[in-house]
Amino acid sequence: MTAYLARRVLQALVVLVVVTLIVYALLTRVPGSALGAVLGPHAASGFLPRYFSWLNQVLHGNLGFSLLHNEPVSTLLAASLPRTVALTGTAVLLALIVAIPVGMLQAVNKNKLVDHVLRALTLLCYGTPSFVLGSVLILVFAVKLKWFGGEGPQAPGFVGVITDWRDLTLPVLTLALLTIALFSRYLRSSAIDSLAQDYVRTARAKGAGERRVLRRHVLRNSLLPVVTLIGLTVPQILAGAVVVESIFNFQGMGYQLWYAAENHDFPVVLGFTLVIGVGVVAGSLLADVGYALLDPRVRYAGR
C-alpha cells in the first residue's frame, strides 16, 4: 500500500506542476495581462526563470497581490475558500444521500416503470444548464413561493454559510441536482452487474433476506466506481460552483474567480486556479486511494 500511495503522490505532483506551467504560460500570453503589457513582444523571453520565481513564491505562501482588491490573494482565498467548501461539500453529501437509494431502486427495478421515470428525471436535471436550473429554482421557490432566499448566504466563514439554511438551500440544490444524475447512473449500472454475480445468487440460495443481500453484497461492491467518480467529478463540481455562485451572488472562490477574470485581475486568477488545480489533483488521488482500500486487488495490480 505504501508503494502504491507513493507512486500516486508522485504522479499527482507531476500533474500539478504541468498544470501550473500551462496556466502561467496562458496568462502570460493572454491579451490584456499586466505582464504582457509591461514586457510587450518580449513577454515570451525569460519565461522559465519568471515561472520558477513565481513557483518559489507560491511554495513560501505568497500567491501574489490582487490588483482590484488591493490585498494579498491569500487573504481573498482565506475568506472565500471556506464558503465554497461549505457549498460544494453540502451539495456532494446531498447528492450521495439521494443518488444511492435512487440508483439501487433503478437497478432492482431494471427496465420497469420506476426505472424509466427516475432515469428520465435524473437525465433532465443532468442535461439542464446550471444557470437555467438555478434561475428556475429562484423564480419558483424564492420569488413565487418565498420559501427560500433568492441569493446565497452572505455571512462570512464556513459556519456562517452552513447555519444559514434558508439562503443555502437553493444554491446547494442547484449544484446537487446536477450531480445526482451522474452518481445514480453509475451506481445503477454497477448494481445491475453485481446483481448478476454468483455471490449474490449464493447468498439468496442460503436464505439471506433481500434487504441483507442488497445492503451487504450488492451495495458494498457497487459503491467502488462511485468512490472513484467522486474524485474524478471534482472539476465538474467546481466548474458548476463558478456558475452557481455567480447566479446566487455567493462570494466564494467561483464568484471571485469569475470577477477577477472579467476584470483582468490575473494574480487572483492564477492563484485561485492553482488552488483549484490542487483540489482536482487531490480529489483524483483520494479516489485512487479509496478504491485501493475498498478493493485490495488494485494495489497489487499496479505493481
Q: Would you give the DSSP letter of residue 41? A: G
For residues 251-261, b (16+ Cβ closer than 10 Å) or e, as one string? bbbbbbbbbbb
Residue in the structure block whose three cell numbers are 467548501: 85
Task: Specify the length of the chain in residues.
Answer: 303
Residue in the structure block whose three cell numbers are 499527482: 12
- The answer to whether the beta carbons of residues 88 and 143 sit under 8 Å apart is no
Q: Please give the angle made by the CA atoms of 222, 224 and 229, to the nearest 5 degrees.
A: 110
One-letter identity of residue 202: T
- The answer to whether the beta carbons of residues 149 and 166 sit under 8 Å apart is yes
Q: Which residue, among 224, 221, 227, 226, has the nearest Cα to 286 in the 3D structure?
A: 227
- Residue 200 cell numbers, joined: 449474490
CA distance to 74, 187, 221, 249, 250, per residue, from 258 (Å): 17, 33, 40, 11, 12
CA distance to 68, 88, 256, per residue, from 262 (Å): 11, 23, 10
111: buried, middle or exposed (CB in 10 Å: 19+, 13-18, 0-12)? exposed
- The answer to whether the beta carbons of residues 118 and 106 sit under 8 Å apart is yes
State residue 298's pLDDT score: 52
Q: Which run of H or E residues covers position 25?
A: helix 2-29
> What does residue 263 show for φ and ψ, rounded to 5 degrees?
-110, 15
State residue 300's pLDDT score: 47
Residues paired with residue 72 on neighbouring β-strands, in sequence order: 65
Angstrom distance (rounded) from CA 190 to CA 251: 37
Q: Would you give the DSSP letter of residue 40? A: G
CA dihedral of residues 151, 156, 162, 163 (deg, nearest 10):
-90
Instruction: Check residue 268 and give left, alpha or beta (phi > 0: left; psi -120 to 50: alpha).
Output: alpha
- Residue 211 cell numbers, joined: 434487504
Q: For each of the chain's 303 residues, which pLDDT tens digit applies?
A: 677 677 877 887 888 888 888 877 877 666 555 555 545 555 555 778 888 888 888 888 888 888 888 889 889 988 888 898 888 889 988 988 998 889 888 888 888 999 899 988 888 888 888 888 889 999 999 999 989 988 888 888 888 888 888 899 999 999 888 888 888 888 888 888 877 777 777 777 777 667 777 766 677 777 777 777 777 677 777 777 888 888 898 888 888 888 888 888 888 888 888 888 787 777 777 777 766 666 655 554 545
Angstrom distance (rounded) from CA 232 to CA 282: 10
Longest alpha-carbon distance in the chain: 77
Cα distance from N-terminal residue to C-terminal residue, the chain: 10
